[in-house]
C-alpha cells in the first residue's frame, strides 16, 4: 500500500514530495539527493548567476538519473539566460515564487516543461491555471522564508475549490500525519522546506540546523509586513533587531545593512547575524537524518495514518 | 458509522463540534440551538454583565436539556459574580480565552466543571494542562476575532506532542473535509466560529452574514499586531482605516474612537463602521442554513472523508 498521486504518475516520482527550493541552500547536490530518495529535488536559482545554475544542473545530472527541477527566481537579472539553461537541459519541472509567471509560460510550455507556481492566494492560482500551469503549490504563511498571509489550512481548500489542476500543500508540514491530513483535504502532494534543512545532505552549517532542532513553536518572527519582502525566520539577534527597527521611522538604511547577505551568513553558520529562515513547524522537528530516511519516515507515517483513518469512526 | 470522540463520551455530545463563543453574538438562544443540534453551544460572557449572563443561561435552559457551556472573559470586572452563576447553574463546561486561567481553576474543578482554555501556543497549553484543564482548544491565527500567531496546522501537532489531554482544533475549519483532516492529525474535535456566523439562528444582521458569504480568501485583515489586541476581521472601511492609522504615530485616540463599540455595530448590521470579525476561511463559506443542517453537513462530509481515506492508498 502506497500513496497514489497523480504527481507520481505525471512526474515520474516515487513519492509526492517536493523538496522546496531554498536560496543558497538547495544546490544540485541536495536536489539530486532528494530525487534519488524518491521525491522531487529542486535547485533554487535565487541568488545564482546563469553560470551557477548551469553548474548546479550539471552536478545534479551526474548524481541522479531521476527527474529534478529548478526553482526560478523571476526577478533575476539573468532570468532569460537561466530559462535557456532550463530548456537546453530539458529540465522537466520548474517552480516559481513571487512575480508574474505568464511572460515565461509560452516558452516553457512549448518545450513540454511542467510549470508549477508557488501561490499565496486564490487569484494567483487561477491566473497560473489559466496560463497553463501543470499544478500550483499552495503555500501557507507558516512557511519559512518569503511568505503570504493565508495559512495552509485556510488556503488549500479555497484553491482546490477554484482550480482544476493538481494542488500541492506547503507550510506547516513536517511529519507524515500532516502530510496525510493535506492529502485527505485533496492535495496531490506536499512541498517541504524546513524539515529538509536539518537533513544530512543539506549544506547549511550545523549551527543553523541545531537552531531549528532547538526551536519551540513561538520561535519564529515575521519581518517586512506591508512591504513586498515579508520573511519568516527564527528569532535571533538579527531578526529581533530588524523587527525593533521596523517600529522606528527613518531606519531603512540601518535595516538594509542588517539584512545585507543575511541569508548567506545564516547558511555559513552565523546564527547571530544571519537570517535563519524557517517555518513555524520548526518546534516539531527534533530529528535529522538522510533525506532518504526523512522521506521514508514521512511516507510510512502518512500511509499508516491514512490506512488507520477508519478507526476514527465507530 | 459515526465519529468516535472522547469529547462525545465525556461531555454528553452527539458530535465533537463546539460552537465557539463570540462576543455579542452567541447568546443563550444560539447556544441552545447548537446544543440541540448535537454539538456544544457556548454562551459568550464577553461584554455581558453578570445579570446578562444569568439571563442568557436561563434562556438556554428553557430551550435545551442538552449540555451547553459558557465562554468566560477573565478580564470582566464582574468575573467573580459570573463564576458564581456558572457554579450555581451547574454549567458543565467553560472555555476561556486570553488571560491566566489558573486563579479560577480550583473553584471550577472542585465543582466538577470541565475547563477548556483556548490557547495560542504550546506553553499556554502546558500551563492549562498542569492546572487541571480537561482539554484545550488550539486556535490558529486564521481564526476571526482575537488571535495569536501560530497557524492551526503548525500549532495542533505541537500541542498534541506536548500535553496528554484532549485537544480541539480551531481556525480555518468550515467544512467536513477540514474537520476530518484535524481529527486525522489527532484532534479530539473542532471549535468553529465563522461558519456558524452565517447560520439562521445566529443573531447578527443579514448584512454581516452576506459580507461573509461574499468574501474571498484575502478579504480579511489583521489589526493590532504588537499590542495585546490582535484582531482579524473582514476588510471594510472601518478595518482598513484602522490599519492605515496604525502606520501613523500619534493616532491612538482616533483609533480608539474608530474601534469604540465596533463589534456591536457589526452585529447590528453596520458593515461600513463595524468590526466584522471573521476568519480566513470566510472565502469558502457560500451557504448558511440552520445550525442543525450545518452540523449535519459537517459530520456527513467528515465521516465520508475519513471512510474514504483508504482510497488515497493504492
CA B203 to chain centroid: 16
- Is B224 near chain A, with CB under 8 Å? no
Low-confidence ranges of chain A (pLDDT < 70): 1
Give the position of cell 477548556. B116
Answer yes or no: are the C-beta atoms of A172 and A142 closer than 8 Å: yes
Q: Which sign does the torsion angle of CA A213, A195, A33, A60 carry? A: negative
**Cα A269 to Cα A149: distance, rounded to the nearest angstrom:** 29
pTM recorded for the entire structure: 0.98
Q: What is the pLDDT of residue A233?
A: 98
By the CB < 8 Å criterion, does A309 face chain B?
Answer: yes
User: Which of B2, B141, B181, B191 has the most A C-beta neighbours within 10 Å, making it the best mutation to test the interface with A?
Assistant: B181
Same domain for B217 and B299, yes or no, is no
For residue B72, what are the β-bridge partners? B96
Instruction: Note whether B131 and B72 are same-domain residues.
Output: yes
Contact A95, A101 (CB under 8 A): no
Cβ of A158 and B310 within 8 Å? Answer: no
Q: Taking CA B126 as the corner, what is the angle to CA B123 and CA B129, rounded to the nearest 5 degrees?
A: 150
Residue A84 corresponds to which cell in the numbers above? 535557456
Domain shared by B141 and B253, yes or no: no
Which residue in chain A is spatially nearest to B189 when comparing CA positions? Answer: A312
Is residue A179 within 8 angstroms of chain B, CB to CB?
Answer: no
Say if residues B117 and B106 touch (Cβ distance below 8 Å): no
Q: Do B186 and A178 make contact, defined as CB atoms within 8 angstroms?
A: no
Optimal mutation site among B121, B215, B312, interface A, most CBs of chain A within 10 A? B312
Q: Which structural domain range is residue A257 located in? A: 206-280
Q: Cα A55 from chain centroid?
A: 21
Q: Are residues A79 and A105 in the same domain?
A: yes
Contacts A153 to B, Cβ<8 Å:
140, 142, 151-153, 171-173, 178, 181
- Contact across the interface for B150 and A175, Cβ inside 8 Å: no
Instruction: Looking at the complex, report in whole angstroms how far the Cα of residue A40 sits from the nearest Cα belonging to chain B.
Output: 20
**Distance, CA of A217 to CA of A214 (rounded, Å):** 10
Interface touch A177/B183, C-beta < 8 Å: no
Residues B162 and B264 reside in one and the same domain: no
Look over chain A and give the mean of its residue pLDDT values, rounded to a whole number: 97
Q: How many domains does chain A have?
A: 2
Q: Does A182 touch chain B (CB under 8 A)?
A: yes
Q: Are residues A65 and A157 in the same domain?
A: yes
**Helix B152-162 to helix B176-185 angle, to the nearest 10 degrees?**
30
Are A173 and B153 within 8 A, CB to CB? yes
Q: B13-45 pLDDT, tens per residue? A: 999 999 999 999 999 999 999 999 999 999 999
Alpha-helical regions (H) of chain B: 6-11, 28-36, 50-63, 79-88, 105-110, 122-130, 152-162, 176-185, 194-197, 206-214, 237-246, 252-259, 262-268, 291-307
* Residue B1 falls inside a structural domain: no
Average pLDDT by consecutive 10-residue portion of chain B (314 residues)? 91 98 97 98 96 98 98 94 97 91 92 97 97 97 98 98 98 98 98 98 98 98 95 98 95 96 98 98 97 98 97 92
pLDDT value of position B102: 86
| Cα–Cα separations (whole angstroms), residue A4 to A119, A211, B309, B314 | 24, 35, 11, 5
Q: How many CB pairs under 8 A join A and B?
A: 181
Among B155, B184, B280, the residue with its CB nearest the CB of A181 is B184
| Residue A109: CATH number of its domain | 3.20.20.70
A180 lies within 8 A of chain B by CB: yes
Residue B174 lies in a domain: yes
Are the beta carbons of A247 and B225 separated by less than 8 Å? no
**CA atoms within 13 A of residue B75's CA, in its CB half-sphere:** 7
State residue A154's pLDDT score: 98
Q: For residue A1, tell me if it sits in a domain.
A: no
Based on the fold, state whether residues B166 and B307 are members of the same structural domain.
yes
Mutate one of A9, A181, A182, A303 to test the B interface: name it (highest B CB count within 10 A). A181
Alpha-carbon span A203 to B151, nearest angstrom = 28
Q: State the Rg of chain A over Cα.
A: 19
Q: Which of B7, B151, B244 to mutate to test the interface with A (most CBs of A within 10 A)?
A: B151
- From the list A140, A175, A181, the residue facing B181 with the nearest CB is A181
Q: Are residues A63 and A117 in the same domain?
A: yes
Per the CB < 8 A criterion, the answer to whether B20 and B42 are in contact is: yes
Other CB atoms within 10 Å distance of the CB of residue B218: 19
Instruction: State how far the Cα of B44 lies from the Cα of B200, in Å rounded to an integer.
Output: 18
- Strands A145-146 and B231-234 come out as unpaired
Decide: B243 and B227 in contact? Cβ < 8 Å: no
Asked, for residue A48, whether it belongs to a domain, the answer is: yes
Find the residue in B nearest to A143 (Cα): B154
- The bridge status of strand B68-72 relative to strand B145-146 is unpaired
pLDDT recorded at residue B99: 79
Chain A partners within 8 Å of B225 (Cβ): 225
Q: Chain A, 139-178: which have a CB under 8 Å from a chain B CB?
A: 140-142, 149-155, 157-158, 161, 171-175, 177-178
**Largest distance between two CA atoms of chain B:** 62
Residues A176 and A110 in one domain: yes
ipTM of the complex: 0.97
Is A181 a domain residue? yes
Q: Are strands B145-146 and B231-234 parallel, antiparallel or unpaired?
A: antiparallel
Structural domain includes residue B182: yes
B244 close contact with A: CB closer than 8 A: no
Q: Is the minimum CB–CB distance between A16 and chain B shorter than 8 Å?
A: no
Q: Which of A217, A309, A312 sits opposite B150 (nearest CB)?
A: A217
Q: State residue B58's pLDDT score.
A: 98
CA distance B271 to chain A (A): 23
Note whether A191 contacts B: Cβ–Cβ < 8 A. Answer: no
Same domain for B198 and B49: yes
Same domain? For A263 and A132 the reply is no
**Pick from B121, B153, B305: which is nearest to A172 by CB?**
B153
HSE (side-chain half, CA atoms, 13 Å) at A236: 25
Q: Are A22 and A138 members of one domain?
A: yes
Amino acid at each position: 500500500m502506497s500513496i497514489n498521486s497523480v504527481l507520481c504518475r505525471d512526474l515520474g516520482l516515487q513519492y509526492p514530495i517536493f523538496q522546496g527550493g531554498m536560496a543558497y541552500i538547495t544546490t544540485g547536490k541536495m536536489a539530486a539527493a532528494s530525487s534519488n530518495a524518491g521525491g522531487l529535488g529542486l535547485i533554487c536559482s535565487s541568488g545564482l548567476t546563469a553560470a551557477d545554475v548551469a553548474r548546479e544542473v550539471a552536478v545534479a545530472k551526474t548524481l541522479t538519473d531521476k527527474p529534478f527541477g529548478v526553482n526560478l527566481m523571476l526577478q533575476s537579472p539573468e532570468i532569460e539566460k537561466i530559462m535557456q539553461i532550463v530548456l537546453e537541459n530539458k529540465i522537466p519541472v520548474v517552480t516559481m515564487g513571487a512575480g508574474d509567471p505568464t511572460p515565461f509560460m509560452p516558452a516553457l510550455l512549448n518545450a513540454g516543461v511542467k510549470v508549477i507556481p508557488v501561490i499565496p492566494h486564490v487569484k494567483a492560482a487561477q491566473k497560473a491555471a489559466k496560463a497553463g500551469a501543470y499544478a500550483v503549490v499552495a503555500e501557507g504563511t507558516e512557511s519559512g522564508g518569503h511568505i503570504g498571509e493565508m495559512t495552509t489550512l485556510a488556503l488549500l481548500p479555497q484553491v482546490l475549490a477554484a482550480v482544476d489542476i493538481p494542488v500541492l500543500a506547503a507550510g506547516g508540514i513536517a511529519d507524515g500525519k500532516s502530510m496525510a491530513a493535506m492529502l485527505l483535504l485533496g492535495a496531490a502532494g506536499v512541498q517541504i522546506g524546513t524539515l529538509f534543512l536539518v537533513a544530512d545532505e543539506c549544506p547549511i552549517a550545523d549551527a543553523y540546523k541545531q537552531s531549528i532542532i532547538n526551536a519551540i513553536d513561538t520561535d519564529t518572527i515575521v519581518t517586512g509586513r506591508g512591504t513586498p519582502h515579508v520573511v519568516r525566520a527564527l528569532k535571533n539577534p538579527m531578526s529581533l533587531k530588524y523587527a525593533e527597527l521596523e517600529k522606528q521611522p527613518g531606519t531603512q538604511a540601518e535595516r538594509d545593512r542588517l539584512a545585507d547577505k543575511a541569508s548567506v551568513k545564516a547558511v555559513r553558520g552565523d546564527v547571530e547575524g544571519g537570517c535563519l529562515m524557517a517555518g513555524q513547524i520548526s518546534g516539531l522537528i527534533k530529528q535529522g537524518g538522510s533525506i532518504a530516511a526523512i522521506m521514508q519516515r514521512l511516507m510510512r507515517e502518512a500511509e499508516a495514518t491514512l490506512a488507520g483513518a477508519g478507526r476514527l469512526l465507530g
